[in-house]
Structures are given as structure tokens and as C-alpha cells.
């Protein structure tokens, strides 16, 4: 499964798997159930219980497996300050500036 970042929620059946590719910086939040996370290049795996989360620290593949029926949310990684300003300016009406801003 490929995820386009933005807040994304999933219900997974027991032993269901979500593959996150190149998701460095994203946060996985366990809303219910229990999740087992394995990140490519890390020797330690993580088990998340409801209310717990983990920021993905590695590029490459991350596997999220439901140990029982679970709900999870994937939050996009933080954007750079410049990217955030660009997004904010893109939503403002041009009339505020008289011309388009050059962020």
C-alpha cells in the first residue's frame, strides 16, 4: 500500500499490514489495538499500544502489522519553514499583497 502523506487513518484486521516507503519523519499513532513496527535498517522493533506513537527515523521500508484488530493514523512529516510559508501564501488571496508573494 502506498500512502500519500496527509493525516491518514486505517482500520487493520489482526495480522493486517501497511507498508510505508520512504516515510522518514512521519509519525504512526496507534488509536486502538496493538501495532508492531519494523523499520528497515533498525535492529529493534517497536510495539505500540493505544495512545502511543512513533516517529519513523529511517528512509526505506517500514512495516506496520496489527497484532489484533487495530486503528492507526499516519501523520505527515513536518515540512521546512520555507515549505510551510509557501503553503500559507498559496491559500491567501493575491489582493492582500497586490502581487503574488515570492516566498
> Residue 51 domain-assigned?
yes
Q: Domain limits at 62?
A: 8-75
> Residue 100 domain-assigned?
no
Mean pLDDT, residues 65-75 = 94
How far apart (Å, rounded) are the C-alpha atoms in residues 49 and 32?
A: 7
> Residue 43 domain-assigned?
yes
- Name the band, by pLDDT with cuts 50, 70 and 90, for residue 1: very low
> Residue 31 domain-assigned?
yes
> Residue 90 domain-assigned?
no
- What region, left, alpha or beta, does residue 26 occupy, with left being phi > 0 and alpha being psi -120 to 50 degrees? beta
How far apart (Å, rounded) are the C-alpha atoms in residues 17 and 4?
A: 17
> Residue 12 domain-assigned?
yes
| Residue-by-residue DSSP string for 38-100 | EETT-S--EEE-TT-EEE--SSSEEEEEEEEEEEEEEEPPPPPHHHHHHHHHHHS-GGGTSS-
> Residue 67 domain-assigned?
yes
Query: What domain count does the chain have?
Result: 1
Mean pLDDT, residues 46-75 = 94
> Residue 94 domain-assigned?
no
CATH number at 69 reads: 2.60.120.10
Report percent pLDDT > 90 for the chain.
47
Amino acid at each position: 500500500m502506498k500512502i500519500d502523506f496527509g493525516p491518514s487513518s486505517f482500520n487493520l484486521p489482526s495480522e493486517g499490514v501497511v507498508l510505508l516507503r520512504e516515510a522518514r519523519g512521519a509519525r504512526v499513532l496507534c488509536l486502538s489495538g496493538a501495532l508492531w513496527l519494523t523499520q528497515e535498517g533498525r535492529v529493534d522493533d517497536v510495539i505500540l499500544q493505544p495512545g502511543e506513537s512513533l516517529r519513523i527515523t529511517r528512509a526505506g521500508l517500514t512495516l506496520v502489522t496489527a497484532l489484533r484488530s487495530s486503528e492507526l493514523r499516519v501523520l505527515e512529516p513536518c515540512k521546512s519553514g520555507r515549505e510551510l510559508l509557501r503553503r500559507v501564501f498559496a491559500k491567501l488571496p493575491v489582493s492582500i499583497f497586490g502581487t503574488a508573494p515570492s516566498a
